[in-house]
Amino acid sequence: MDTVQKPLLRALSGEAVWPPPFWLMRQAGRYLPEYRQLRAQAGDFIALCTNPVLAAEVTLQPLRRFGMDGAILFSDILMLPWAMGQGLRYAEGEGPLLDPIRDAGGLAALDPGAMRARIAPIIETVARVKAGLAQEAPKAALIGFAGSPFTVACYMVEGKGGGEFANARRMAYADPVLFGRIIRLLVDSTVDYLLAQAEAGAEALMLFDSWAGLMPPGQFRRWSIEPTAAIVRGIRKVLPDIPLIGFPRLAGPLLPEYAQRTGVSTVGMDTGMDPRWAAANVPAGFGLQGNLDPQALVAGGAALEAEARSILAAMRGRPFVFNLGHGIVPPTPPDHVAALARVIRMG
């Protein structure tokens, strides 16, 4: 199908497509038995992300079941620091663990020059998914992604998730020169990484800033909005029209300013955002994406349907992409995803 006719790309380019296209953050993952099987086959999570055949297969699995309008590359935001040489492992039940960077020596130990070679398998996954979509789901668009510099820096400095990133947030105040060097390295490498994904076939790009909302407004502008704007400029220099989605989670009332100052074309709404407020306050030219509570998807039934319908009602007439307010969680019954897809398709 002609790229410009794909419903997701039309919505991300500012058209109020109805019923809205949909995809779900973490749509590939542990809630699907077929994912768990390939994950076991691959060994560990990094092995899965760097195996283009298996990673492409995992990317396509949810589309086969549920017919999403978008396929998101199967990888992780932390594969970028991994590709620059930072020690990373995913411990069962604990989430990601990195060798933390706490000083200039830690930063100097990274090898950004190694990045291109180490991300090669991920870029190959993009190309494989693109070919797979042409065969299996020609109306679906391929979404590439990266973490936003602040969120990736949180993990790089802290060495783990699961808390409030006290060390990383403190470094941003106490040593803004060092923190700024980490952020700049991430801006440059993220532009390269996303352009490589686009060149391999990604048709839209998303930046996940999952922890942006941990910062007060001044820090948010400096460490979330400004670096994101720099990435957007770097990408737009080469690809002026590619749809860009920014997701500054927990940004609250700063969401409209983030939309206008970063230059992204669509903004993601997190679970707590009132979609009516977003529709009234984010200027009409921007697309909106979100924001069903992942727990409503676990619960299912009438509650799921009511929540989905209220989001649809708030978004009617807007360029809109239905999604969750954060990622799918492992206990989600796949049947509930199918039920949600039916509700969305009714519009």
Q: Is 31 a catalytic residue?
A: no
Question: Which member of 21, 70, 81, 96 binds ligand CP3 (CB under 6 A)?
Answer: 96
Q: Which two tokens stand for residue 253?
A: 């009332």
Binding mask 278-307 for ligand CP3 (x = CB under 6 A): ------------------------------
Considering only 20-28, 231-239, 279-287, 317-325, which stretch makes contact with ligand CP3 by CB under 6 A? Answer: 20-28
Binding mask 244-283 for ligand CP3 (x = CB under 6 A): ----------------------------------------
The reply to whether 23 sits near ligand CP3 by the rule CB under 6 A is no
Q: Is 30 a catalytic residue?
A: yes
Question: Which member of 150, 208, 223, 322 binds ligand CP3 (CB under 6 A)?
Answer: 208
Give the separation between CA 264 and CA 206, rounded to whole angstroms. Answer: 9
Q: What does the longest C-alpha to C-alpha distance in the chain come to?
A: 56
CB of 284 to ligand CP3, least distance (A): 27
CB of 288 to ligand CP3, least distance (A): 18
DSSP reduced 3-state for 184: helix
Q: Is 155 a catalytic residue?
A: yes
> 247 pairs with which residues across the strands?
208
Does residue 208 contact residue 77 with C-beta atoms inside 8 Å?
Answer: yes
Q: Is 181 a catalytic residue?
A: no
The reply to whether 57 sits near ligand CP3 by the rule CB under 6 A is no
Cis amide bond preceding 51, omega within 30: no
CB of 315 to ligand CP3, least distance (A): 21
Q: Which distant-in-sequence residues (6+ apart) come within 8 Å of 139 by Cβ?
A: 1, 5, 6, 7, 69
Block residue for tokens 């060097």: 181
By residue count, the chain amounts to 347
DSSP annotation of 253:
G
Annotated active-site positions, please? 26, 30, 39, 76, 155
